[in-house]
Structure 1
Amino acid sequence: MHFGTREELELLALLVSVGALLALSPTLRVPLPILLVFAGVVLSFIPGLPHVALPPDLVLVAILPPLLYSGAFFTSLRDLRINRRPISLLAFGLVGTTMAAVAFVAHEWIGLPWAVAFTLGAIVSPTDALAATEIAGRLGAPRRIVSLIEGESLVNDGTALVLYKAAVGAAVGGAFSLLDTSGRVVLNVVGGIAIGLAVGWIVRQVRRRIDDAPVEVAIAVLSGYLAYLPASAAGVSGVLAAVTIGVYMGWHTPELTTERTRLSGDAFWEIFVFLVNTLLFVLVGLQLRRIVDALSGLSTLKLTGYAALVCATVILTRLVWVPIFTYVPRFLFRSVREHDPYPPWQWPVVLSWAGIRGAVSLAAALALPNDFPHRGLIVFLTFSVIVSTLVLQGLTLPALIRGLRVSDDGRAEREDAKARIRAAEAALARLEELVEDGDVRPETAERLRGLFNFRRNRFGARFDESDDGAIEQQSVAYQRVMRTLLDAERAELVSLRNQGLIDDNVMQRVQRDLDLEAARLDQ
C-alpha cells in the first residue's frame, strides 16, 4: 500500500496528537473532553492542514443512535423511575426555559428575528452528560446527582430537536403556533417511546433465539438504529426511540444472554463509546477555523460580545432555574415533600453547574440550510457555548464538588455488597439442595461451602460495625497472595509460549481466564 501522501501524513499527525493527549490526560488532571476540544482548535489553525468538516448526519444519524442506546442501556431503570419528576423538569421545563431566555436575548440585544432566535435557543438548550458525569463520578459525587445528569441528557436531546425543527420551520416558512408546537412535542414523545418499545420487543424475541456472542453484540449495536431510523421516518422522536429501546433492553438483557455475551458486550461498549466520543470532541474543536472564516464580515469585538451574552444567558438560566424548581415544588406540595424530601443545598448547586453542552448542539447548528438567515452567526454562537461551558464549568466543577464537600452517600456500595451477599446465600441454599439429592460429593460440597461462606462474610464485614476487621484483613491478605500467584501463572504461560511448548491461542485462552479471576479480586 502506498503511504506518504500529504493527506496520510496529516492524518498520522492528527492521530499522534490525539494519542499523546490520551497518554498525558491523567498527568495533566484536566478532563479529557476539554483536552480533545483544545487539540482540535489548535490543529484547525495549523498552516497546511485541510479543513475537516463535521457532517451533521454523521452525528445525528450515524453516531447518535448507538451512543443513546449505550447510555440508556447502562442507566438504572429504577433510578429513572425514582427521579422521573426532576428529570422531566430538567429535560422539558429547563430546555424550554433556556430556549426562551436565549431567544429573548438574541432578539433584543443581537437583533436576530424571533424565529431565528428561537432556533438558536433550541440548539444550545440540551446538555451533554459525558464530561459532567465523568467528573462527578470520578470525584465520588452522590449517585443521585450523577443519575439526574445522565437522565436529563438522555431525554433533553429529543425535546430540543423537536423544538429545533419547529423553530427552523417557522424561520423558513414564516409561521409559528405555540399550540401546534406543543402538540408536536407530545406526539414526538409518545410516538418515540411507542416505537422504541415496539422495536425493543421485536429485538428481544430475536435475541431469545440466538446464542452467539458476536452476533448478539452486533444486534445490540444495530438496535439503536432499528428504533431511531423508523421513528425519524415517521416524524416522531428518534432520540427517545433509541433511548427507550436502550432502557428496555438493559432491563431484559440479563435474562437473555450468557456470561460470554455479557463480558464481550461490556468490553465492546466501553471501547466503542470512548473512541466515538474522542472523535467527536476532536471534530468539534476542528470546526473553529471554518466557523471563523465564515464570519469574516463581523468585527471580533462584536462577535466576542455576542458570544459572552449568549453563554452567560445559558449558564445563568440554569443557575436560577435548578434551585427554584428544587425547592419550590417541595415547599408548595406536601406530597412532593413527603415522597422526595429536601436534598442538601449543595446538590442543586452542583447540578446547576453541570450544564455542559456538546456535539449534538453543534451538529444541529451545522444541519441548518446554507441559506438559513444568520446561519454563520448561529454556528459561531453555538460553538462558543459548547467551548465556554466545557472549559469554564468542566474545569471548575471538580473544585466545586470538593469545596462543597459533596460526597457519595455509599448507597451504591451498600447495594453492591447486599447483592453479592444475597447471591452467595442463594448459591449456598442451592448447594444444600444438591447435597440432599446426592448430586454432589461431600468433599466437593465442603470446598464449595468454604468458598461461598468466605465470599458472603467478606462483603458482610464491610458494613458490620461489630466486626473487628479480621475478615476484611483476611480478605486483603487473600487478594494480595492471589495476585502474586496469578502473576506467577502468567509469567509461566509466557515462558511456555516463548519456548514453543504452547501456541499463542492456548496462551491467550488461559491468560483470559486468569485475567477474569484477577478482575474478580477487585470486586
Structure 2
Amino acid sequence: MIHANLLLILALFFAMALLYLLSQRWKISYPIFLVIGGLGISFIPGIPPINIDPDIVFLIFLPPLLFEAAWYTSWNEFWKWKRSILLLGFGLVLITSLAIAYFSVSIIPGFTLALGFLLGGIISPPDAVAATSVLKGVDMPKRGLTMLEGESLVNDAASLTVFRFALACILTGQFVFQKAATDFIILAVMGVVVGLAIAHILYLVLRYWAKSSSITTPITLIAPYLMYIVAEQFHWSGVLAVVSGGLFLSFRSNDFLNYHTRLQTKEVWATVGFLLNGFVFILIGLELPVIVEGLEGYSIDEAINYALIISAIVIIARIILVYLVTFIPRLSRKIRQREKSPGLKLPFIIGWAGMRGVVSLASALAIPLTLSNGAAFPHRNLILFITFIVILITLVFQGLTLPIFLKLLKVEEIDDHVPFDQQKEAIHLLLAKEAVLYLDNKYSKEMADFETIRRIKEQMERSIRATEQTVAEQKQQVASVRKLYKKIMLDLTTFRRKELNKLRATKKYDDEVLRDMENNLDLEEARFYKH
C-alpha cells in the first residue's frame, strides 16, 4: 500500500515537471497549466482516486509556503503601502466572506449562515503565487506587485481565521460574538509572539553556532513547521506565527547567511516552493472528478449553477471593493498629497488578479469528514465542489486574460520608481568607486610593490568608466547595447564551458577543481539569465 501510494506521488511529481516544461514552451503560467493537466490526468483510465487526509493538509502545505512568501517579502515596500495592503488583506476578506455567506444562504437550500461563512473564508483569499506567475514577463507597476504580494500574507491569516471560527461554530453549534472577538485577539497576538520568540531562538543558533550550509538550510526548512506546530498546540494562530517569524528571519538574514549558505538556501527553497505549489495546483485538477462523484443531494447542473454564481460574486465583489479601498481613503487631503493617484486602470488589474489557489484548496480539503457527534459534515462535498470551480474559473479564466488586459490598458508606472537595470548600474558604480578609495587607503604600498595587486585597481577603474559611459548614453541605445552585451557574455560562457569539458576529457586536472570552475560559470550565467 505504501509503495503504491509512493509510486503515485512520484509519478505526479514527474508529471508536474513535464507540465511545467510544456507551460514554459507555450508561455502559459504554470499554475494554470498544472490545473488543466491534473484535470486531464484524472480522466486517464486506471488512475486511482486521490484522497488526502484533511488533518494533514494544513500541516504539510501551509507552513513552508507561508514562510517562503514572508521570506521574500520586502518589508520596506510592505510598510510603505501598509494602509492599502491591510485594507485589501483584511477588509476584502471580511467583506467577501460576508457577501458569500449571505448569497450562498439565499441560493442554496439547507445552507446555514455558518456554512456560508465557512465557504466565504475558504474562497476569499487570492493566491499570490498564481498572480505573480501570470504577471511574470509583463510590465506591471511596482505598487501593484507590492500590494498583491503583501496582501497575500495578510489575507491568508484573515481568511483562515474566518474559516476557523466558522468551523468551530458548525462543530459546536455555538457562536458568541464577544467571545469570538476576544479569542481572535488572543490567538492573533499570541501567534505573533510565538513566531517571533522561535525566530529569535533560531536566529541566535544560526548566527553564533551554525556556520555551515549543511545545517543552516535544514534549520530554515524546519523553522516554519516548528512555529506552526507550537502555536497550534496552544490553539493560537500558526499562520501568524509563521508569517511573523519568517519576516523577522528574512530581515536579519544577512547576519547569519554567507554567500554559500545564501545560494544553497535560495535554491533549496525555490525547489521546495515549486514542488509544494505545483503539487497543490495539480491536485486541484485531480480532485475535481472525485468531488463530483461525491455530490449527494445535488445534481451536477445544480452544483455548477451554484458554483458559477458564487464565482461571479467573488470576481465582481473584489473589483468593486478594490476601487472602494483605493479611493475612499483618498478623500483625505493628506493621503492625496502623500500618494499619487493610482488612476482607474491599476485598481482594475489588482482586482482582476484575484485568482484563488493554494490556501483555498488547503482550507477546503481540511474540512473534517464528520461532526463531533459522528454525523457526516453537512454539504461538505458541495463546498469542496464550489471551491474547486471557483479556483478553476479564477485561475484559468482570469489568469489567461490578465496579461491581455495589461497590454490593452497599457498600465504605466505611477510612482517615481527607478527601473531595475538603472538601479543596478547606480549601485555597481557606487560600490566600485568606494572600493577604489578603500584600495588606495589600505593597500597603497602593496599596489606600488606588486603588479598583480595594482591590476585590481585598474580593472575596477575600467569598470567605473564603462558604467559611467553606459549611464550617459541614451535609453534606447542603453537597451540595445545591454542586450548585445548579454548575448556576447552568454556566448562566451557557453564557449568556456565547452572548453572546460575538453579539459575534463584530458584527465589532467582534478574533478574537484573542474567542478569549482563549472560552478563559477553557472553563477555567471545565472546572473545574466535572472533579468
TM-score (norm 2): 0.90
CA distance in 1, matches of 2:484, 2:168: 66
C-alpha contact 2:446 2:453 (8 A) present in aligned 1: no
* Equivalent residues, number: 517
State the one-letter code of the partner of 1:60. F
CA distance in 2, matches of 1:297, 1:471: 62
Aligned to 1:246: 246
CA distance in 1, matches of 2:6, 2:178: 53
Moved more, 510-519 or 147-156: 510-519
The residue correspondences of 1:104-119 to structure 2 (distance < 5 A) are 104-111=102-109, 112-119=111-118
Is 1:345 paired with 2:344? yes
CA distance in 2, matches of 1:170, 1:470: 61
CA distance in 1, matches of 2:157, 2:348: 25
CA distance in 2, matches of 1:421, 1:264: 28
Is 1:415 paired with 2:423? yes
Aligned to 2:288: 288
Aligned to 2:162: 163
CA distance in 2, matches of 1:276, 1:470: 40
Q: Among residues 432, 436, 444, which one is paired with 1:428 in the alignment?
A: 436
CA distance in 2, matches of 1:383, 1:192: 29
Aligned to 1:266: 266
Aligned to 2:25: 27
CA distance in 2, matches of 1:130, 1:213: 27
CA distance in 1, matches of 2:478, 2:64: 46
Aligned to 1:489: 496
C-alpha contact 1:95 1:159 (8 A) present in aligned 2: yes
Offset of residue 220 of structure 1: 1.1
Distance 1:172 1:345, change over 3 A: same
Distance 1:24 1:162, change over 3 A: same
C-alpha contact 1:435 1:441 (8 A) present in aligned 2: no
State the one-letter code of the partner of 1:274. F
Moved more, 215-224 or 337-346: 337-346
CA distance in 1, matches of 2:419, 2:480: 20
What stretches of structure 2 of length at least 5 have no aligned partner? 370-375
Distance 1:192 1:421, change over 3 A: farther
CA distance in 1, matches of 2:36, 2:480: 45
C-alpha contact 1:193 1:240 (8 A) present in aligned 2: yes
Is 1:139 paired with 2:144? no
Distance 1:440 1:239, change over 3 A: farther
What stretches of structure 1 of length at least 5 have no aligned partner? none
Aligned to 1:195: 194
Aligned to 1:206: 205
Is 1:373 paired with 2:378? yes
State the one-letter code of the partner of 2:81. N
Q: Among residues 505, 508, 513, which one is paired with 2:515 in the alignment?
A: 508
Aligned to 2:176: 177
CA distance in 2, matches of 1:277, 1:145: 22
Offset of residue 189 of structure 1: 2.7
Moved more, 263-272 or 458-467: 458-467
State the one-letter code of the partner of 1:271. T
CA distance in 1, matches of 2:441, 2:259: 24
Secondary structure of 1:406's aligned partner? coil
CA distance in 1, matches of 2:23, 2:270: 18
CA distance in 2, matches of 1:8, 1:248: 36
Offset of residue 204 of structure 1: 1.0
Q: Among residues 388, 393, 396, which one is paired with 2:398 in the alignment?
A: 393
Is 1:62 paired with 2:60? yes
C-alpha contact 1:323 1:349 (8 A) present in aligned 2: yes
Aligned to 1:38: 36
Distance 1:347 1:134, change over 3 A: same
Secondary structure of 1:127's aligned partner? coil
Q: Among residues 88, 91, 94, which one is paired with 1:93 in the alignment?
A: 91
Offset of residue 82 of structure 1: 0.5
Offset of residue 197 of structure 1: 1.6
CA distance in 2, matches of 1:16, 1:91: 35
Q: Percent identity?
A: 34
CA distance in 1, matches of 2:195, 2:333: 35
Aligned to 1:49: 47
CA distance in 2, matches of 1:82, 1:100: 29
Offset of residue 299 of structure 1: 1.4
Offset of residue 117 of structure 1: 1.1
Moved more, 362-371 or 440-449: 440-449
Is 1:124 paired with 2:123? yes
Secondary structure of 1:498's aligned partner? helix
Aligned to 2:372: none
Offset of residue 364 of structure 1: 1.5
Q: What value does the CA root-mean-square deviation take over the aligned residues?
A: 2.7
Aligned to 2:321: 321
State the one-letter code of the partner of 2:282. V
